Amino acid sequence: MSEITTKPLNIQWPTADASRIPFGVFTDPDLYDLEQKTLFRGPNWSFVAMEIEIPKAGDYKTTFVGDTPVIVVRDQDGKINCFVNRCAHRGATLAYDQCGNKQDFTCVYHNWRYDLGGNLKSVAFQHGVRNVGGMPKDFDMCQHNLTKARVEVYYGLAFATFSDETPPLETYLGERMAKHIARVFNRPVKLLGSYSQVLHSNWKLYMENVKDSYHASLLHTFFTTFKLNRLSMEGGVVVDGGGGHHISWSKRGTDSAAGTAYEKAGELRSLVDDFTLADPTLIKSWLEYDDGITHAIQSIFPTFVLQQIQNSLAIRLLVPRSVDKSELFWINFGYEDDTPEQYDMRLRQSNLIGPAGLVSLEDGMIGNFIQRGIQRETDDSAVLEMGGRAVEDQQSRVSEAAVRGFWQAYRARMGI
Ligand code: FES
Ligand SMILES: [Fe+2]
């Protein structure tokens, strides 16, 4: 495990449980640095690629583990490798493109060349010019490979870790989380598109938001207005992985008469009956899976999200950029056996998500609203008591149990 050298002095947890979160955790630059070392370079798995993003030998993408830039590449044996995107000579970035195909990686600065496994293969002018100059005779190329991460693939999802102590990926996920991934990746998938958005907030504020099923009916008026996702529907929250993983789920069309009555009485956000969509095909959908679940958001600690919002399927990877900035990468996908009509419907439903999404726009915004509000309030704390103070499964989504779970896992893994 990564050695923790210092404990941040400015973070005081008001309670032993996860019902109070000091605002300083979102603003302390020392804590941010410690997270990079302890969480992202420590014994956790970080999502790095879908296998179908790099199908052929030499296909690669550049991405991040925490804020560490990495290259993820498929080698000649079909294996996926991941290493830090930093030349072992003097530290230059090796690959600049978001993706591509290469037989090796050659640094632009002095042409040190690495194979697809990250091993140093040649050094320009190693023997000097006309036997003058060059590297010392005992220079050992094997000592200058790229910094490698371990990679494991589960149902087409590649995860990487820099720690030898990280348990096998399937153990890390646990049975219930692994089963949910298998449910979505039950047959060959097809990429629909990808993009990213900058969030002007600490990365943990977005992870809180993802795990916060309580806000969906309140912040997202599009959901409630068009009856896509309301808290009166059958649903719940699964919390696992020491609190760090979660699934919140619901079934559209299961609103009880009582639930609808509550909404009309204004106890949930009331319906605005005179709003209609000029083009209702925007939200036309079909039942994606036999279990009847129409919405499912899964998070795997620390920063991986798998989304099913009706027929909009996506992976989200959150990349911390600095203490008050992050970048959210989205990969939209469907299935290879989708009909042309299903393909079109998935694309239309993609308007719900992303930086300008009819629903997701508010999630991109709300973290910054918090970041602005807490900047000088770091001695005060957030309150997390909806659904009790415990970290456990919930039969209702009117709960902050999964958010508490995140903090329970965070404190345990950070040792603070
Ligand atoms: S920094 Fe890469 S070869 Fe010199
Ligand atoms: Fe949201």
- Residue 37 domain-assigned (yes or no): no
CATH code of 55's domain: 2.102.10.10
Would you state the pLDDT for residue 217? 82
- 234 CA from centroid of ligand 2 (Å): 18
Q: Is the CB of 87 under 6 A from ligand 1?
A: yes
The residue whose CA has the least distance to atom 4 of ligand 1 is 110
34 within domain boundaries: no
Using the mean position of ligand 1's atoms as its centre, give its distance from the Cα of residue 124 in Å: 10
For residues 72 and 210, membership in a common domain is answered with no
197 assigned to some structural domain: yes
Residue 265: pLDDT over 70: no
* Same domain membership, residue 335 and residue 261: yes
**Cα 150 to ligand 1 centre (Å):** 24
- 53-75 tens-digit pLDDT: 999 999 999 999 999 999 999 99
Nearest to 181 by CA among 339, 334, 52, 296: 296
The finding on whether 113 has its CB within 6 A of some atom of ligand 1 is no
Q: Could you tell me if 212 and 324 lie in one domain?
A: yes
262 vs 240, residue with greater confidence = 240
Confidence (pLDDT) at 231? 76
- 394: which DSSP letter? B
Atom of ligand 1 nearest to the CA of 90: 1
> Which atom from ligand 1 is nearest to the alpha carbon of 88?
2
* Pocket probe mutation, ligand 1, options 87, 94, 144, max atoms within 8 Å of Cβ: 87
Same domain, 181 and 304: yes
236 plus 116 within the same structural domain: no
Query: Domain for residue 94, yes or no?
Result: yes
Residues 339, 254 share a domain: yes
Highest mean pLDDT, choosing among 27-31, 218-222, 233-237, 257-261: 27-31
What atom in ligand 1 is closest to the CA of residue 92? 1
pLDDT above 50: residue 268: no
Which of residues 231 and 368 earns the better pLDDT score? 368
Query: Are both 386 and 291 inside the same structural domain?
Result: yes
> Per-residue DSSP letters for 77-144?
TS-EEEEESS-TTT---S--SSEEE-SSEE-TTT--EE-TTS-EEE-TTTT-BTTBS-S-TT--GGGG
- Indicate the residue among 103, 138, 153 that finishes a domain: 153
* Ligand 1 site, residue 107, Cβ cutoff 6 A: yes
Domain match, 135 and 217 both:
no
- Residues lining ion ligand 2 (Cβ < 5 A) are 363
How does pLDDT run across 76-91, given as a tens digit for each residue? 999 999 999 999 999 9
Mutate to test the pocket of ligand 1, among 83, 85, 90 (most ligand atoms within 8 A of CB): 90
Q: Quick one: 108 and 180 in the same domain?
A: no
- Top pLDDT among 310 and 7 is at 310
Establish whether residue 343 lines the binding site of ligand 1, counting it when its CB lies within 6 angstroms of any ligand atom: no
Specify if 14 maps to a domain: no
**Banded model confidence at residue 110, pLDDT cuts 50, 70, 90:** very high
The answer to whether residue 272 is domain-embedded is yes
Question: Is the domain of 131 the same as that of 271?
Answer: no
Q: What is the mean pLDDT of residues 366-392?
A: 95
Identify the domain containing residue 182 by its residue range.
Answer: 176-414
Residue nearest atom 3 in ligand 1 by C-alpha distance: 110
Residue 6 inside a domain? The answer is no
Same domain, residue pair 120 and 191: no
Q: How far is the CA of 160 from the centre of ligand 1 (A)?
A: 25
3 in any annotated domain: no
Q: Within 13 A of 331's CA, how many CA atoms are on the CB side?
A: 19
* Number of independent structural domains in the chain: 2
Q: What is the pLDDT of residue 226?
A: 78
> Could you identify the residue written with the tokens 């009880």?
256
Indicate which ligand has the atom closest to the C-alpha of 111. 1
H/E segment holding residue 182: helix 169-184
Burial per residue of 215-238, b for 16 or more beta-carbon CB atoms within 10 angstroms, e otherwise: bbbebbebbbbbebbbbbbbbbbb
Which of ligand 1's atoms lies nearest the C-alpha of 123? 3
pLDDT of residue 262: 42
**Alpha-carbon dihedral sign for residues 60, 62, 64, 70:** positive
The stretch 384-407 carries a mean pLDDT of 95
Give me the pLDDT at residue 10, please: 76
Residue 192 sits in a domain whose CATH number is 3.90.380.10
State which H helix or E strand residue 304 sits in: strand 304-309
Residues 189 and 125 in one domain: no
The pLDDT-based confidence of 6 (bands split at 50, 70, 90) is low
